[in-house]
């Protein structure tokens, strides 16, 4: 059995406010779908951030609908989870992917955490913030128990793993991942990553387009952007990396000011040879120059030949300042925030809370930041009593006996003929039946409203 694994499409993203870049994301998504159909796979897995945000534009929705209809014609099913960009943290809120369930999209969610495609278990959990790590690990562990019942299994997850993330920016550690899945269909990290893990393969296919200019890096030059075709017919899955040509070139150029005229002329020739206007990050270094004067020279030489120009100037004086800063190891805002919190509280969970709040507030997601705060206080101040009432996907969704009950199957359901009666055959969905705790929830919510709480309570 062969399937395509892709992730982080970010449909609707208008990079630098440019309509042309938004259209580039639609273009490259369509190119991926064309190539997937050409590869004649059995199904597709999308590991989150299908859309740039939880309220996609009409154009973004139509771009995905067009692709979905093409896949339906080819009888290729697609499974997907929500990522951090297209999730809505409010309890009971639905991600935009749910709009396409009637067109054949199989959404992996807390309500429907598991499907079966042929003889392969496909299960997972949508994005979980690092401050809710306990719920994430519980979900992983119990989906792992479910996977033991199948010859082949796939875990779909949109989380950053510590090995490939900046310090303290991950949601889970590699050592905490279950080790009994044949394939780990990961999303969230935009570089291509492939690694043997447990008995299978752990893969981040990377983003489909260059979402940040920093993604035009060595990883991109080696692996490109695209998707992965996975063959499950072997003891350990075999992979084919499929690269998709980008609609437009990204250039990151560094020019020595002492050779400025010669280098800018060569750059102009290269850019003018392209079919589409390029994106250009240009840094001028060394020497003693006036930045405004050099900027005018750049605009005059290539300003009309690029779609977007991001200049950066580092004369000798600036280079010396950077050297001094580096020697004194000045910390970035994330590190400074965590350093101060560590000095006062020394608690890892408070550090993770601060990063979750910073990530959400920095992009204007105030409501989500409030929800994260409420969950944190209910979990740690009330010793977990109110956790399951505030999480979209709490431990109760996935823990032990409840997983079997909520998916409508038991230990005896996995013998021969009974399998098709209890597990999804690519059309049936499972509904989780969580015990009503409304009275307990109301009680704890009243406590939260009537009592002032400080982080000092956690020392």
Would you name the residues annotated as active-site residues?
A: 85
- 312 appears as a binding residue in the annotation: no
DSSP of 172-200, one letter per residue?
Answer: B-GGGS-S--SEEEEES--S-EEEEETTE
- 84 appears as a binding residue in the annotation: yes
User: Which residue, 75, 82, 31, is CA-closest to 55?
Assistant: 82
- 445 appears as a binding residue in the annotation: no
H helices within 310-426, ranges in order? Answer: 316-328, 333-344, 348-361, 366-380, 387-390, 395-398, 400-406, 418-422
Query: Which helix (H) or strand (E) element contains residue 285?
Result: strand 278-285
| Rounded CA separation 117/293 (Å) | 62
- 265 appears as a binding residue in the annotation: no
User: Which residue, 171, 421, 22, is CA-closest to 9?
Assistant: 22
SS3 156: strand
- 46 appears as a binding residue in the annotation: no
Vertex 285, ends 279 and 290: CA angle to 5°? Answer: 95
For residues 170 and 130, the answer to whether their CB atoms sit within 8 Å is yes
Total residues found in the chain within this entry:
459
Strands of 114-117's sheet in order across: 114-117, 120-125, 152-158, 183-187, 200-204, 193-197
Tokens of 66: 């067009």
- 170 appears as a binding residue in the annotation: no
For residues 81 and 42, the answer to whether their CB atoms sit within 8 Å is no
Phi-psi domain of 49 (left: phi exceeds 0; alpha: psi -120 through 50; beta: other): left
Query: Which helix (H) or strand (E) element contains residue 272?
Result: helix 260-272
- 368 appears as a binding residue in the annotation: no
Q: Binding-site residues, please? A: 8, 10, 49, 84, 158, 188, 190
Q: Binding-site residues for Mn(2+), please? A: 8, 10, 49, 84, 158, 188, 190
């Amino acid at each position: 059995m062969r399937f395509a694994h892709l992730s982080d499409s970010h449909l609707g993203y208008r990079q630098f406010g440019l309509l042309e870049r938004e259209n580039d994301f639609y273009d490259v998504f369509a190119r991926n779908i064309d190539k997937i159909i050409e590869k004649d796979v059995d199904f597709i897995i999308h590991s989150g951030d299908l859309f740039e945000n939880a309220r996609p534009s009409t154009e973004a929705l139509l771009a995905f609908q067009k692709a979905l209809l093409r896949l339906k014609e080819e009888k290729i099913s697609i499974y997907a989870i929500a990522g951090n960009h297209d999730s809505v943290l409010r309890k009971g809120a639905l991600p935009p992917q749910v709009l396409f369930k009637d067109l054949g999209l199989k959404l992996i969610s807390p309500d429907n955490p598991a499907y079966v495609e042929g003889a392969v278990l496909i299960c997972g959990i949508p994005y979980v913030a690092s401050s809710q790590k306990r719920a994430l690990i519980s979900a992983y562990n119990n989906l792992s128990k479910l996977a033991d019942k199948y010859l082949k299994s796939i875990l779909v997850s949109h989380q950053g793993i510590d090995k490939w993330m900046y310090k303290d920016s991950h949601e889970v550690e590699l050592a905490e991942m279950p080790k009994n899945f044949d394939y780990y269909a990961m999303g969230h990290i935009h570089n291509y990553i492939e690694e043997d893990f447990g008995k299978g393969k752990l893969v981040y296919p990377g983003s489909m387009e260059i979402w940040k200019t920093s993604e035009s890096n060595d990883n991109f030059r080696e692996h490109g952007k695209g998707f992965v075709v996975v063959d499950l017919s072997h003891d350990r899955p075999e992979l084919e990396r499929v690269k998709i040509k980008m609609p437009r070139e990204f250039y990151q150029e560094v020019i020595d000011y002492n050779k400025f005229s010669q280098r800018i002329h060569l750059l102009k020739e290269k850019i003018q040879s392209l079919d589409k206007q390029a994106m250009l990050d240009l840094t001028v270094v060394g020497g003693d120059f006036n930045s405004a004067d050099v900027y005018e020279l750049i605009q005059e030489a290539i300003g009309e030949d690029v779609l977007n120009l991001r200049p950066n100037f580092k004369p000798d004086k600036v280079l010396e300042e950077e050297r001094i800063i580096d020697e004194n190891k000045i910390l970035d805002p994330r590190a400074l925030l965590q350093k101060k919190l560590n000095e006062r509280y020394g608690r890892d969970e408070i550090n993770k809370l601060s990063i979750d709040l910073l990530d959400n507030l920095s992009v204007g997601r105030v409501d989500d930041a409030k929800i994260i705060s409420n969950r944190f206080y209910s979990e740690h101040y009330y010793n977990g009593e109110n956790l399951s009432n505030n999480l979209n996907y709490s431990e109760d969704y996935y823990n032990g006996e409840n997983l079997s009950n909520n998916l409508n199957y038991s230990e005896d359901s996995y013998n021969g003929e009974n399998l098709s009666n209890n597990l999804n055959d690519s059309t049936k969905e499972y509904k989780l039946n969580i015990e009503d705790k409304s009275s307990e929830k109301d009680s704890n919510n009243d406590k939260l409203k009537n009592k002032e709480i400080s982080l000092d309570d956690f020392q």
